[in-house]
C-alpha cells in the first residue's frame, strides 16, 4: 500500500468513503511499528459502532423540535382501570417492582410526545433500521428504542442484535395439516440464547448497566427460571461484565438450558423445588440483597418483548394478521404481545389488533381454568411435569396482565395434553421445522380452533415459537424412540438398525421407497 497504507483493527476493512470515514485519524509516525517493509506514514483507525453511535446519536434520528420522549413506571391498575385515578409513578431509574398497594407495574410512555409523529413516520423509521449493524438500532428491539427505553444512552445498551427473527411461512404444515394457506410461525427462538427472552433481557440488563453507572446499589442481577430466562440473563450479564445469579428448580430443566448459565459464568443455584418455589425465593432474596430482579414481574422486560409484536406487523408490511397464538407460563409474554399491537394501533401504524390466543399445557393450566370459569375465580395450581417444561408454572406472576390482554383482544385460552403437544411438535418438525414443545402447545391450540371452526381456513394466523428446538432434544429423542409411557408417539420416526452389507441396505431402502411411491 506504500505511503497510504492503513493501520487497521484486525478483521475490519477500511473504506475511506464508508460511514466510518470520520473516525479515521492520521497517527504520528512514532505511534506505529516501523519495519523496512512498512514505511512510517500509515493512518490509524480506532472506530467501532458504539463510538459511531456516540457521535451520530443513531436512535434519536428525529428532529429536535418535538416533545421529549419519556417513560415511567405506573401501577398496572392505572392501565387496567383508568378510572382508578392515581398519580403514583416512579422513574425508571428507581429500583421498584410493585406499586404501593402491591400491584404490578407497567412502563408507561408519554404517548402525546410519541403522537407528535404520525403512523407513517414511525413505520418508515422502523423500516429504515432493519438489517443494519448500526448501534444500537440494528437490533430488532432497539430499532424501536423510542418506544422501549427512550431515555437510555446508546452507550449504556447491552445488545446482541437480538430480534429481527424469521417469520416462517408454514406452507406445507399449513396446507397438509391445517387446510390453511396463510399460516406463519414467528421463530423467536432463533435468537442469541435460543428463546424470546433475549428481547426482554437486552432491555433489563441495559437498564442495570445504566443504574450501576448511576451508582445505584446493585451488585448483581437474579432470576428464578425454567431455563430460558436464566440463559438470557447470564449471557447478557456476561456480555456486560455484571454478576448474574440464577435459581433453577433441580432436575426440571433441560440439559441444554442448564449448561447455558454455567457456561456464561452465572452463579447457579439448583434448588429442590419447582419454578413457583424458586420465584418465591428470588422475590424474598431481591428484597433483602443488592440483586436486581430480572423476571418478568419486572415490567422492563416486557418493553423488549413487545417488539416481537411490532416486528410481526412490520414483516407483513403493516398488515394485521387475524390471529396470534402464544404459549403462556408466567404470562408476561401474552401481555407484551398485546402491548406491542396496541401501541401500533394507538400511534396510527395500523387500524386494528389481532385476536390473541394463549395456549397452556394441561399439566400447568391455571389461566385456562380461570378462562373456563368465565374469569370468575383465579386459583393457582400445583404445576405437574410437562414436556413443555419452560411453562411448568402454577402461580403466574402476570396473571392480571394476561387477563387484561385477552379481554381487550377478544382473546381465547386453549390447553394441550402431553400427547397432543408432542404430536403437534413432531408433525411440525416433519414439515421442516425444528420446534420446541411449547410451540407444540401453541400448535395444538391452533389445531383445536381450526377443528371447531373458530379459526377459518383463510385466516392469516401467526403461531409464536418461543424457543429453539435444539434446547429440547431429549424430549424429541424420547418421542422418536417411542420411549414415553402411555403415549402412542404416532409420528415417531426412529432410525433403522441395519447390517453393514450391501444387500441389507438395499432391502431396507427398497422397502422405504416402495412405501413412499404409493
Ligand atoms: C420457551 C418458553 N415458551 C413460553 C414461555 C411462556 O412465557 P411467559 O412466561 O411469558 O408466559 C416461556 C417462559 O415462561 C418459555 O421459556
Ligand atoms: N419460562 C421462564 C419462566 C420465567 O418467566 P419470566 O418471563 O417471568 O422470567 C424461564 O425460562 O425461566
Q: Which 3-state string (H, E, C) describes 376-412?
A: CCCCCCCCCCCCCHHHCCCCCCCHHHHHHHHHCCCCE
The complex's ipTM works out to 0.99
Q: How confident is the model at residue 273 (pLDDT cuts 50, 70, 90)?
A: very high
**Residues 370-374: contacts with CB under 8 Å, at least 24 apart:** 370/399, 370/403, 370/413, 371/406, 371/412, 371/413, 372/413
Predicted confidence at residue 13, as pLDDT, reads 32
**CA distances for 202 relative to 156, 238, 294, 317, angstroms:** 11, 12, 11, 25
The residue ranking higher by pLDDT, 60 or 108, is 108
What would the pLDDT profile of 470-509 be if each residue is shown by its tens digit?
999 999 999 999 999 999 999 999 999 999 999 999 999 9
Please name which of 286, 5, 310, 277 lies closest in space to residue 129, comparing C-alpha atoms.
Answer: 310
Atom of ligand 2 nearest to the CA of 200: 7
Ligand with smallest separation from the Cα of 358: 1
Separation of CA 367 and ligand 1 centre (Å) = 13
Q: Using alpha carbons only, how large is the chain's radius of gyration in Å?
A: 25
366 C-beta closer than 6 A to ligand 1: no
Ligand 2 closest atom vs CA 197: 7
Q: What per-residue confidence (pLDDT) applies to 46?
A: 54
pLDDT tens digits, 35-71:
445 556 655 555 788 888 887 766 655 556 678 999 9
Q: Which atom number of ligand 2 is nearest to the Cα of residue 228?
A: 11
pLDDT in tens, 165-183: 999 999 999 999 999 999 9
Closest CA to 467 of 362, 391, 356, 393: 391
Ligand nearest to C-alpha 469: 1
363 Cβ below 6 A of ligand 1: no
User: Rounded to an integer, what distance in angstroms lies between the CA atom of residue 281 and that of residue 245?
Assistant: 12
Helix (H) or strand (E) holding 230: helix 228-240
Rounded-to-integer distance, Cα 181 and Cα 178, Å:
9
Q: Is the CB of residue 159 below 6 angstroms from any atom belonging to ligand 2? A: no
Cβ of residue 390 lying under 6 Å from some atom of ligand 1: yes
- Of the pLDDT bands very low, low, confident and very high (cuts 50, 70, 90), residue 280 is very high
Q: Is 391 in the pocket of ligand 1 (CB under 6 A)?
A: yes
Pair 401, 335: CB distance under 8 Å: yes
Place of cell 404459549: 327
Query: Is the pLDDT at 193 greater than 80, yes or no?
Result: yes
Give the ligand 1 atom nearest the CA of 391.
Answer: 14
Q: What confidence category does residue 82 fall into, taking pLDDT thresholds of 50, 70 and 90?
A: confident
Task: Return the ligand 1 atom nearest residue 438 CA.
Answer: 3
Q: Which among 237, 256, 253, 257 is positioned nearest to 245, based on CA atoms?
A: 237
User: C-alpha distances in angstroms, 112 versus 71, 150, 309, 318, 387?
Assistant: 11, 14, 21, 22, 45
CA of 223 to the centre of ligand 1 (A): 14
Ligand 2 centroid–CA 226 distance in Å is 6
Confirm or reject: Cβ of 461 under 6 Å from ligand 2. no
Ligand at minimal distance from the CA of 442 is 1
Write the residue with the smallest CA distance to atom 1 of ligand 2.
390
Give the closest ligand to the alpha carbon of residue 464. Answer: 1
Share of the chain above pLDDT 70, in %: 89
In this predicted structure, what is the pLDDT of residue 470?
98
pLDDT at 24 over 50: no
Residues of the chain with pLDDT > 90, as a percent, come to 84
Pocket test for ligand 2, best of 225, 227, 399 (most atoms within 8 A of CB): 225
Least confident of 20-24, 100-104, 188-192: 20-24
Which residue matches cell numbers 432434544?
473
Establish whether residue 333 lines the binding site of ligand 1, counting it when its CB lies within 6 angstroms of any ligand atom. Answer: yes
Beta strands in 202-345 (DSSP E): 220-224, 244-249, 267-271, 291-293, 323-327
pLDDT digits (tens, 9 = 90+) for 374-403: 999 999 999 999 999 999 999 999 999 999
Angle at 79 between CA 73 and CA 85, to 5 degrees: 90
Q: How far is the CA of 471 from the centre of ligand 1 (A)?
A: 14
* Distance (Å) from CA 257 to ligand 1 centroid: 13
Q: What is the tally of helices (H) and strands (E) in the chain? A: 19, 16
Q: What cell numbers appear for 319 in the block?
A: 398488515
The answer to whether 144 and 313 have CB atoms below 8 angstroms apart is no
What are the pLDDT digits (tens) for 295-339? 999 999 999 999 999 999 999 999 999 999 999 999 999 999 999
Decide if pLDDT at 14 tops 80. Answer: no
CB 240 within 8 A of CB 158: yes
* Ligand 1 atom with least separation from CA of 439: 3
Expressed in angstroms, the distance from the first to the final Cα of the chain is 66
Cβ of 315 closer than 6 Å to ligand 2, yes or no, is no
Whether 2 shows a pLDDT value over 80: the answer reads: no
Collapsed DSSP state (helix, strand, coil) of residue 489: coil
At 16 the pLDDT is 32
Q: Is 331 in the pocket of ligand 1 (CB under 6 A)?
A: yes
Tell me if 328 CB under 6 Å of ligand 1: yes
> Mutate which of 188, 199, 246, 391 to test ligand 1's pocket (most atoms within 8 Å of Cβ)?
391
Identify whether the C-beta of residue 384 lies closer than 8 Å to the C-beta of residue 221.
no
Summarize pLDDT for 340-377 with one digit per residue, the tens: 999 999 999 999 999 999 999 999 999 999 999 999 99
223 lines ligand 1 (CB under 6 A): no
Spatial distance between the Cα atoms of 396 and 167, rounded to a whole number of angstroms: 28
* pLDDT of 29 strictly over 90: no
Q: Determine if ligand 2 sits within 6 Å of the CB of residue 234.
A: no
CA distances from 377 to 101, 288, 297, 383, 392 (A): 21, 32, 21, 18, 21
Mean pLDDT of the region 247-269? 98
pLDDT at position 153 is 95
Per-residue pLDDT tens over the stretch 196-238? 999 999 999 999 999 999 999 999 999 999 999 999 999 999 9
Q: Summarize the confidence of residues 107-126 as an average pLDDT.
A: 97
Spacing, Cα 295 to ligand 2 middle (Å):
6
Quick check: CB of 330 below 6 Å from ligand 2? Answer: yes
User: Is the minimum distance from the CB of 200 to ligand 2 under 6 angstroms?
Assistant: no
Q: Is 45 in the pocket of ligand 2 (CB under 6 A)?
A: no
More confident residue, 518 or 458: 458
Ligand 1 test: best mutation among 298, 309, 329, 406, most atoms within 8 Å of CB? 329
Amino acid at each position: 500500500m506504500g505511503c497510504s497504507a492503513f493501520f487497521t483493527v484486525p478483521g475490519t476493512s477500511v473504506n475511506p468513503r464508508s460511514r466510518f470515514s470520520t473516525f479515521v485519524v492520521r497517527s504520528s509516525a512514532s505511534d506505529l511499528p516501523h519495519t523496512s517493509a512498512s514505511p512510517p506514514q500509515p493512518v490509524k483507525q480506532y472506530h467501532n459502532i458504539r463510538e459511531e453511535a456516540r457521535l451520530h446519536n443513531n436512535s434519536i434520528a428525529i428532529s429536535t423540535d418535538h416533545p421529549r420522549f419519556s417513560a415511567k413506571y405506573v401501577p398496572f391498575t392505572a392501565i387496567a382501570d383508568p378510572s382508578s385515578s392515581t398519580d403514583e409513578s416512579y422513574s425508571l431509574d428507581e429500583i421498584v417492582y410493585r406499586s404501593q398497594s402491591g400491584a404490578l407495574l407497567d412502563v408507561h410512555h408519554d404517548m402525546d410526545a410519541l403522537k407528535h409523529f404520525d403512523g407513517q413516520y414511525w413505520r418508515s423509521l422502523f423500516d429504515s433500521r432493519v438489517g443494519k449493524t448500526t448501534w444500537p438500532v440494528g437490533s430488532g428491539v432497539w430499532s424501536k428504542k423510542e418506544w422501549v427505553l427512550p431515555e437510555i444512552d446508546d452507550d449504556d445498551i447491552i445488545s446482541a442484535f437480538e430480534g429481527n427473527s424469521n417469520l416462517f411461512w408454514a406452507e406445507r404444515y399449513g396446507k397438509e395439516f391445517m387446510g390453511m394457506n396463510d399460516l406463519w410461525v414467528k421463530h423467536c427462538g432463533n435468537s442469541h440464547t435460543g428463546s424470546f427472552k433475549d428481547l426482554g433481557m437486552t432491555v433489563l440488563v441495559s437498564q442495570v448497566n445504566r443504574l450501576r453507572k448511576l451508582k445505584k446499589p446493585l451488585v448483581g442481577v437474579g432470576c428464578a427460571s425454567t431455563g430460558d430466562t436464566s440463559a438470557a440473563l447470564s449471557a447478557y450479564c456476561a456480555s456486560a461484565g455484571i454478576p448474574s445469579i440464577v435459581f433453577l428448580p433441580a432436575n426440571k430443566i433441560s440439559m441444554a438450558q442448564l449448561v447455558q448459565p454455567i457456561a456464561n459464568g452465572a452463579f447457579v443455584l439448583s434448588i429442590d423445588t419447582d419454578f413457583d418455589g424458586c420465584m418465591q425465593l428470588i422475590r424474598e432474596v431481591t428484597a433483602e440483597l443488592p440483586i436486581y430482579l430480572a423476571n418478568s414481574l419486572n415490567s422492563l422486560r416486557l418493553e423488549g418483548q413487545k417488539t416481537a409484536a411490532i416486528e410481526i406487523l412490520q414483516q407483513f408490511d403493516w398488515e394485521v394478521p387475524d390471529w396470534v397464538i402464544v404459549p403462556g407460563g408466567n404470562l408476561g409474554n401474552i401481555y407484551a404481545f398485546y402491548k406491542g399491537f396496541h401501541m401500533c394501533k394507538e400511534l396510527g401504524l395500523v387500524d386494528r389488533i389481532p385476536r390473541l390466543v394463549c395456549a397452556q399445557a394441561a399439566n400447568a393450566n391455571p389461566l385456562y381454568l380461570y378462562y373456563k370459569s368465565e374469569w370468575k375465580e383465579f386459583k393457582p395450581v400445583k404445576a405437574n411435569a410437562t414436556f413443555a417444561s419452560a411453562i411448568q408454572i402454577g402461580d403466574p406472576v402476570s396473571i392480571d396482565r394476561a387477563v387484561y390482554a385477552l379481554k381487550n383482544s377478544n382473546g381465547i385460552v386453549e390447553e394441550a395434553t402431553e400427547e397432543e403437544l408432542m404430536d403437534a411438535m413432531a408433525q411440525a418438525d416433519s414439515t421442516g421445522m425444528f420446534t420446541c414443545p411449547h410451540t407444540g402447545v401453541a400448535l395444538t391450540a391452533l389445531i383445536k380452533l381450526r377443528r371447531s371452526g373458530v379459526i377459518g381456513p383463510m385466516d392469516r394466523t401467526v403461531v409464536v415459537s418461543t424457543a429453539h428446538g435444539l434446547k429440547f432434544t431429549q424430549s424429541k429423542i424420547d418421542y422418536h424412540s417411542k420411549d414415553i409411557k402411555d403415549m402412542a408417539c404416532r409420528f415417531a420416526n426412529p432410525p433403522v438398525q441395519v447390517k453393514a452389507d450391501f444387500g441389507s441396505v438395499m432391502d431396507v431402502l427398497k422397502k422405504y421407497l416402495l412405501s413412499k411411491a404409493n
